[in-house]
C-alpha cells in the first residue's frame, strides 16, 4: 500500500513538477522601458498565465494588433539584415532622415541637412531637445558612437559596407580603428560626415535603419543583450518596446519622448510574431489581428477582388542565375535563348497568382533615376527589353538564337540542372522551366536543395542554373546593378564583362547626374544584351488589411508604416 | 538502489558526451553556416563574425573548446539570435513547452488508463469497439490535421476559443487537446492489451476464487501489473512532449522550445543545436532512470543492478 502511494506520488511529481516549474516566470522580458511610460497604452506586465487578461493587455488604449513576420532574429539596428527586423526598428528608432509616404527623403532626427559643393561633406542639423525613450538627451555624439559601432569588428554588422563603405576612413575603421571613420560632432546638434568619394544617394544611407542611433549607456551595460529585453531596449523612435515575449508578440507603446509624439494616434502596436501563414490567416479571420503580412498562397484565388487584399510593388526582381563559367552558359546566345523561352506573363499572373508582376527588364518599377524619375521609364529608350506580351515571337527568337549557338532544335544540348530551395513558388517555377525549355528541345533536371545548403552552393558556383532574387535596400539603381559587377559577393552567375564593370565604375565616381544616369542605363543595356541573368518577375508585397486601419502606408522597400495609423471605430 | 543510481549517472554522462560529440561533428559536416543569407555579407563582416564566435578555428579545436565550456555549464551564445545565450533561450522557452506538454501528458494519462481498462473489461462489447476505433483514429490522424480542424471550428467559425498565444486558461484548450490525442490513444491501446493479458493470468483467477471484491481485484492486482508498459512508454514520451512540438507550437503561436530545435538546424545555429540536443538527451535519460525506479516500486520483483 505504502509503495503504491509512493509510486503514484512519483508519477504525479514527474508531471506536475515539470508543469509547475513552467508557471514561475514565462514573461521574463516584461518591464516597461521608461520611467515615464505611464501613458494609457502602457502594457500590463508580469505573469499573465492563467489570468483573464485580454489578448491586448492595454485597457481603454488604442492598440493596433498586426502580424508582419515571425520572431525577428535581432532588432539591434546594427545587426539586423532582415525585412521583418527592419520593420520593428522602423517603429522604434528614427535615423537622421526618414522616407515619407511618397518615398522621398524627409527630415527625421535631423531637421535640415546640406551637402558641400564637392559632394564630399554632408552636414546634418539635429532638432532641439531630442530625447531617448528613457528621457535622457540625445546628441550628435550619439550618432558618432552609433556609426562607429557599425564598423566595429566585434559587432560585425552585416550592412557595414553597404551603408558606410563610401565614408572616409571606412577601411581603417572596419579593421578596428573606429576613430578613423569620417564622422564628427562639432557641437551637440551638428553631425558631419566626410565621404571618400561623392555619393549622390548618401541621403538614403542617412535614412537607413542600420545607421539608427543607439544609446551607448545601455549597449555598454548589456553588450549584445541590450536589444533582446524590453527594459534595456532604449530607442528614439515613435514607439518603444514595453513587452517582448519571444515568438509570441512584441508590444510597442507610444514613446512620449519622441519629438513628434503629438502626431501619434495609437497608444500601442502589438506585433504578433506568427510564423505560420495559416495561423496568421486564422487570427485575421477571427478578428484577433487587423493586418497580416503572411497570407497562405492557397487562399489567394479566393481573395482577389477582396478590398481587404492588397498587392503593392516593392523594388526587387525574381531572376535566374546561369553559371556563366560553365558550358553551355558561357555563350550569351544560349543564355538569351533560355531567357526568351519563358512566358513571364503566365509565370507571374497564373503560376504566381498575380502576387508577382512579369519582368521585362532587370530593374523594375520603384528604382529612381538620378533626376528623380522612374529608372524603368528611361531604360532601353523607354521600351521594355523583353516584350512579355508577345510570347510566341520570343520563342521563335529563342529557337533562332539556339540554332546560331550550334544547337538547332536543342540537338547536342546537354541536360542541365536547375537548383532551387523549396519555398513560395520556387518549385512551380522550376517545373514550369522544365516545360518551357523542353520547347527548345532542352532537358532540364530540377534539384531541390535545403535552404541553408542552397545559399553557399549558389555562391560558390556549384550549380548550372538556379533561382535568385534581390529586394532593394534603397532605391538607387546601383543597389541592384552592383550585383552583376564582376567582383561582387552576390554575383552568383559569375557574370564578368569589362564594359559592364566600366559603366558601373563611372556611376560610382561621377558627380554629374546625367552622366551617372547614362552609365547606369548602359550597364543594364549590356546586362540584358548579354543575358547576364534572367529576370522573370518583379516582387510585390501582398497582405490583408482591415478597413478599420487608416493613415498607414507601405513603401517600395517592403516596409509598412504604422506609426501614424489610427483605428476607425 | 544508491549504487544503481550512481551507476546510471555515470552511464548518463558518457551517453550525453557521445550524443554531443556525434551531433557536433555531424552538424559541422552539413554544408552551410549560420551567417549566410540571400544577400551576401561582405568578406570582412563574415570574417569578423567567425572570429567573434570562434568559428575560424579548426573543427577539432572548436570541439575541444565546446566540450570544455559545456562541461563548465557554459553553452555559449546563439549564433542567430544575437544577444541571447543558449541557456537563456532554453530557460525562457522550456517552461512554456513544459506547461503545455505536461498538461497534455496529464490529460493522456487520466483519459487513456481508465478508457484502456474499460475496453479490456468490456472486451468484444460495443464499448470496446468504440474505444478501439477512437484509439486507431487518434494514432492515425496527424496532429496538424487535428490542429487545423479545431482551429477552423472553434477559432474561426464559432469564435469561442482564441487562436493564438497562451495568455489565458482558454488558450490552452486547443493546443493541449491536439497534443494529447496521440498519447491518449496510444496509452489506451497499451493499457487495453496489457490489461487483457493480466486478466487472463492465473493469479487473477485465484483472486476471484478467493472471493475478493471486483474493485479490489482490479486496482490491487490487475492495474498494478498491467500499468508497467504504460510507465515504460510515458517516461520518454514525457521528455519529448514537454520539450515542445514544432507543429502545434507553430499553428497556435506558442513561444515554446519545439520550434527552436527545427529553426536551429535550418539556420545552422550550431551552439543552439548543441544546447537543445544535449538538453533533450539529458531529459530522456533522466526520465528513463525515473521509469526504472518506478518500475522497482510498482513491481518489487524487479532488481535494479
Answer yes or no: do A245 and B255 touch at CB < 8 A. Answer: yes
A154 touching chain B per CB within 8 A: yes
Summary mean pLDDT of chain A:
86
The residue whose grid cell reads 538502489 is B1
Chain A CB contacts of B252 under 8 Å are 279
**For the residues A108-112, what does the mean pLDDT come to?**
95
ipTM over 0.90: no
- pLDDT bin (cut points 50, 70, 90) of residue A51 is very low
For chains A and B, count residue pairs whose Cβ atoms are closer than 8 Å: 214
Answer yes or no: do B31 and A51 touch at CB < 8 A. Answer: no
Q: Report the Cα B163 to chain-centroid distance in Å.
A: 23
What pLDDT does residue B305 have? Answer: 63
The residues, any chain, with a CB within 8 Å of residue A199's CB and separated by 6 or more, are A119, A166, A205
- pLDDT bin (cut points 50, 70, 90) of residue A43 is very low
**Cβ atoms A47, B96 nearer than 8 A:** no
Interface list for A 446-505 with B (CB within 8 A): 450-453, 455-457, 459, 469-470, 489-490
As a dihedral over the C-alpha atoms of residue B191, residue B193, residue B196, residue B200, rounded to 10 degrees, the angle is: -120
Q: pLDDT tens digit string along A172-197? A: 998 889 999 999 999 999 999 999 98
Range of lowest pLDDT (A90-94, A245-249, A253-257, B36-40): B36-40
Q: Report the Cα A328 to chain-centroid distance in Å.
A: 34
A45 touching chain B per CB within 8 A: no
Chain A CB contacts of B183 under 8 Å are none
What pLDDT does residue B216 have? Answer: 78
- Mutate one of B83, B149, B234 to test the A interface: name it (highest A CB count within 10 A): B83
Q: pLDDT tens digit string along A116-171? A: 998 899 999 999 999 999 999 999 999 999 999 999 988 888 888 889 989 999 99
Task: Find the largest Cα–Cα distance for chain B.
Answer: 84
Question: Which residue of B81, B234, B255 is in closest CB contact with A73?
Answer: B81
Of how many residues is chain A composed? Answer: 569
Interface list for A 303-362 with B (CB within 8 A): none
**Cβ atoms B83, B162 nearer than 8 A:** no
What pLDDT does residue A40 have? Answer: 35
Chain A CB contacts of B165 under 8 Å are 55, 248-249, 272
Question: Which residue of A26, A274, A450 is in closest CB contact with B253?
Answer: A274
Collect the ranges in chain B with pLDDT lower than 50. Answer: none
Question: Which residue of B42, B102, B249 is in closest CB contact with A15?
Answer: B102
**For the residues A80-88, what does the mean pLDDT come to?**
88
Answer yes or no: do A21 and B95 touch at CB < 8 A. Answer: yes
Nearest to B250 by CA among A387, A497, A539, A71: A71
Question: Which residue of B101, B162, B238 is in closest CB contact with A55?
Answer: B162
Chain B CB contacts of A227 under 8 Å are 82-83
Q: Nearest-CA residue of chain A relative to B36?
A: A455
Chain B CB contacts of A8 under 8 Å are none
B162 touching chain A per CB within 8 A: yes
User: What is the SS3 assignment for A419?
Assistant: strand
The residue whose grid cell reads 518583379 is A538
What pLDDT does residue B63 have? Answer: 93
Nearest to A56 by CA among A69, A70, A42: A42
As a dihedral over the C-alpha atoms of residue A166, residue A159, residue A68, residue A354, rounded to 10 degrees, the angle is: 70
The residues, any chain, with a CB within 8 Å of residue B272's CB and separated by 6 or more, are B78, B79, B80, B81, B86, B89, B260, B264
**What φ, ψ does residue A167 adopt, rounded to 5°?**
-85, 140
Q: Nearest-CA residue of chain B relative to A78?
A: B82
- Give the rounded percent of residues in chain A with a pLDDT score beyond 70: 89
* Count of CB atoms situated within 10 Å of the CB of A326: 16
Measured CA distances, A148 to A15, A177, B269 (Å): 51, 9, 27
Higher pLDDT residue, A397 or B218?
A397
CA geometry: angle A240, A244, A250, nearest 5 deg: 70
Burial category of B107 from C-beta neighbours within 10 Å (exposed 0-12, middle 13-18, buried 19 and up): middle
A431 touching chain B per CB within 8 A: no
Nearest to B120 by CA among B225, B25, B23: B225
The residue whose grid cell reads 542639423 is A125
Range of lowest pLDDT (A48-52, A281-285, A383-387, A501-505): A48-52
Q: Nearest-CA residue of chain B relative to A49?
A: B167
Supply A480's cell numbers. 541592384
What pLDDT does residue A238 have? Answer: 96
- pLDDT bin (cut points 50, 70, 90) of residue A19 is very low
A31 touching chain B per CB within 8 A: no
The residues, any chain, with a CB within 8 Å of residue B219's CB and separated by 6 or more, are none
Answer whether residue A314 shows pLDDT above 80. Answer: yes
**Cβ atoms B243, B284 nearer than 8 A:** no
What pLDDT does residue A60 have? Answer: 55
Give strand ranges (E) for B233-279: none
A157 touching chain B per CB within 8 A: yes
- Give the rounded percent of residues in chain A with a pLDDT score beyond 90: 62
What pLDDT does residue B293 have? Answer: 84
- pLDDT bin (cut points 50, 70, 90) of residue A381 is confident
Query: What's the CA gap between A78 and A472, in Å, rounded?
Result: 18
Residue A72, min C-alpha distance to chain B (Å): 8
Answer whether residue A37 shows pLDDT above 50. Answer: no
Answer whether residue A46 shows pLDDT above 70. Answer: no
Amino acid at each position: 500500500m505504502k509503495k503504491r502511494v509512493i509510486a503514484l506520488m512519483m508519477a504525479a511529481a514527474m508531471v506536475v513538477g515539470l508543469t509547475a516549474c513552467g508557471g514561475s516566470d514565462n514573461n521574463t522580458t516584461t518591464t516597461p522601458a521608461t520611467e515615464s511610460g505611464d501613458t494609457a497604452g502602457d502594457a500590463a506586465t508580469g505573469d499573465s498565465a492563467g489570468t483573464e487578461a485580454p489578448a491586448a493587455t492595454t485597457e481603454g488604449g488604442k492598440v493596433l494588433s498586426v502580424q508582419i513576420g515571425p520572431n525577428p532574429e535581432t532588432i539591434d539596428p546594427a545587426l539586423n539584415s532582415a525585412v521583418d527586423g527592419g520593420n520593428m526598428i522602423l517603429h522604434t528608432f528614427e535615423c537622421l532622415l526618414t522616407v515619407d509616404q511618397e518615398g522621398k527623403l524627409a527630415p527625421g532626427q535631423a531637421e535640415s541637412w546640406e551637402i558641400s559643393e564637392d559632394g564630399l561633406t554632408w552636414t546634418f542639423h539635429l532638432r532641439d531637445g531630442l530625447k531617448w525613450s528613457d528621457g535622457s538627451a540625445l546628441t550628435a555624439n550619439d550618432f558618432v558612437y552609433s556609426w562607429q559601432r557599425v564598423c566595429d569588428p566585434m559587432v560585425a554588422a552585416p550592412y557595414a559596407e553597404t551603408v558606410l563603405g563610401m565614408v572616409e576612413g571606412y577601411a581603417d575603421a572596419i579593421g578596428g580603428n573606429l576613430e578613423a571613420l569620417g564622422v564628427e560632432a562639432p557641437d551637440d546638434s551638428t553631425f558631419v560626415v566626410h565621404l571618400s568619394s561623392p555619393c549622390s544617394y548618401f541621403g538614403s544611407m542617412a535614412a537607413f535603419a542600420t545607421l539608427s542611433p543607439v544609446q551607448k549607456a545601455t549597449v555598454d551595460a548589456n553588450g549584445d543583450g541590450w536589444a533582446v529585453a524590453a527594459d534595456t531596449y532604449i530607442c528614439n523612435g515613435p514607439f518603444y518596446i514595453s513587452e517582448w515575449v519571444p515568438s509570441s508578440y512584441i508590444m510597442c507603446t507610444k514613446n512620449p519622448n519622441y519629438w513628434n509624439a503629438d502626431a501619434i494616434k495609437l497608444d500601442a502596436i502589438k506585433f504578433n510574431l506568427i510564423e505560420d501563414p495559416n495561423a496568421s490567416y486564422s487570427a485575421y479571420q477571427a478578428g484577433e489581428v487587423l493586418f497580416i503580412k503572411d497570407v497562405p498562397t492557397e487562399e489567394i484565388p479566393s481573395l482577389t477582388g477582396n478590398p481587404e487584399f492588397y498587392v503593392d510593388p516593392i523594388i526587387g526582381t525574381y531572376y535566374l542565375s546561369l553559371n556563366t563559367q560553365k558550358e553551355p552558359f558561357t555563350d550569351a546566345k544560349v543564355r538569351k535563348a533560355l531567357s526568351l523561352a519563358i512566358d513571364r506573363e503566365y509565370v507571374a499572373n497564373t503560376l504566381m497568382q498575380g502576387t508577382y508582376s512579369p519582368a521585362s527588364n532587370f530593374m523594375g518599377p520603384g528604382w529612381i533615376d538620378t533626376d528623380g524619375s522612374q529608372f524603368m521609364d528611361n531604360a532601353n529608350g523607354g521600351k521594355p527589353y523583353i516584350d512579355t506580351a508577345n510570347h510566341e515571337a520570343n520563342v521563335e527568337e529563342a529557337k533562332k538564337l539556339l540554332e546560331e549557338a550550334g544547337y538547332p532544335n536543342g540537338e547536342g544540348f546537354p541536360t542541365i540542372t536547375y537548383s532551387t530551395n523549396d519555398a513560395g513558388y520556387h518549385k512551380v517555377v522550376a517545373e514550369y522551366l522544365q516545360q518551357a525549355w523542353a520547347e527548345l528541345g532542352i532537358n532540364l533536371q530540377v534539384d531541390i536543395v535545403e535552404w541553408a545548403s542552397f545559399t553557399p552552393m549558389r555562391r560558390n558556383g556549384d550549380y548550372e542554373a538556379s533561382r535568385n532574387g534581390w529586394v532593394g535596400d534603397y532605391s538607387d539603381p546601383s543597389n541592384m546593378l552592383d550585383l552583376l559587377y564582376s567582383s561582387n559577393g552576390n554575383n552568383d552567375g559569375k557574370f564578368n564583362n569589362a564594359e559592364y564593370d566600366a559603366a558601373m565604375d563611372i556611376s560610382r565616381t561621377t558627380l554629374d547626374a546625367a552622366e551617372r544616369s547614362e552609365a547606369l542605363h548602359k550597364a543594364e543595356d549590356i546586362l540584358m544584351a548579354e543575358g547576364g541573368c534572367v529576370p522573370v518577375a518583379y516582387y510585390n508585397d501582398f497582405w490583408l488589411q482591415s478597413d478599420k486601419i487608416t493613415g498607414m502606408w507601405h513603401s517600395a522597400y517592403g516596409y509598412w508604416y504604422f506609426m501614424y495609423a489610427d483605428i476607425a471605430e | 538502489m544508491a549504487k544503481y543510481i550512481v551507476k546510471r549517472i555515470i552511464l548518463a554522462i558518457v551517453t550525453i558526451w557521445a550524443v554531443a560529440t556525434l551531433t557536433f561533428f555531424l552538424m559541422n559536416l552539413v554544408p552551410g553556416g549560420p551567417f549566410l543569407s540571400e544577400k551576401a555579407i561582405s568578406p570582412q563582416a563574415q570574417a569578423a563574425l567567425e572570429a567573434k564566435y570562434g568559428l575560424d578555428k579548426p573543427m577539432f579545436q572548436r570541439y575541444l573548446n565546446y566540450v570544455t565550456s559545456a562541461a563548465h555549464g557554459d553553452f555559449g551564445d546563439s549564433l542567430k539570435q544575437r544577444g541571447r545565450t543558449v541557456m537563456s533561450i532554453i530557460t525562457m522557452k522550456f517552461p512554456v513547452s513544459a506547461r503545455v506538454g505536461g498538461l497534455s501528458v496529464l490529460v493522456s494519462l487520466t483519459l487513456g488508463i481508465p478508457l484502456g481498462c474499460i475496453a479490456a473489461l468490456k472486451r468484444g462489447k460495443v464499448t470496446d469497439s468504440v474505444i478501439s476505433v477512437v484509439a486507431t483514429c487518434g494514432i492515425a490522424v496527424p496532429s496538424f490535421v487535428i490542429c487545423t480542424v479545431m482551429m477552423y471550428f472553434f477559432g474561426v467559425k464559432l469564435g469561442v476559443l482564441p487562436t493564438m498565444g497562451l495568455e489565458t486558461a482558454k488558450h490552452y484548450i486547443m493546443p493541449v487537446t491536439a497534443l494529447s490525442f496521440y498519447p491518449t490513444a496510444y496509452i489506451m491501446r497499451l493499457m487495453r492489451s496489457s490489461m487483457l493479458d493480466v486478466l487472463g493470468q492465473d493469479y487473477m483467477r485465484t483472486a476471484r476464487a478467493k472471493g475478493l471484491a471486483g474493485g479490489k481485484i482490479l486496482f490491487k492486482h490487475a492495474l498494478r501489473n498491467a500499468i508497467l508498459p504504460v510507465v515504460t512508454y510515458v517516461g520518454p514520451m514525457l521528455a519529448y512532449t514537454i520539450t515542445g512540438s514544432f507543429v502545434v507550437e507553430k499553428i497556435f503561436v506558442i513561444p515554446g522550445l519545439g520550434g527552436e530545435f527545427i529553426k536551429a538546424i535550418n539556420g545552422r545555429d550550431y551552439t543552439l543545436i548543441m544546447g537543445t540536443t544535449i538538453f533533450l538527451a539529458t531529459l530522456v535519460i533522466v526520465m528513463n532512470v525515473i521509469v526504472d525506479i518506478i518500475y522497482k516500486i510498482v513491481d518489487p520483483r524487479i532488481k535494479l543492478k
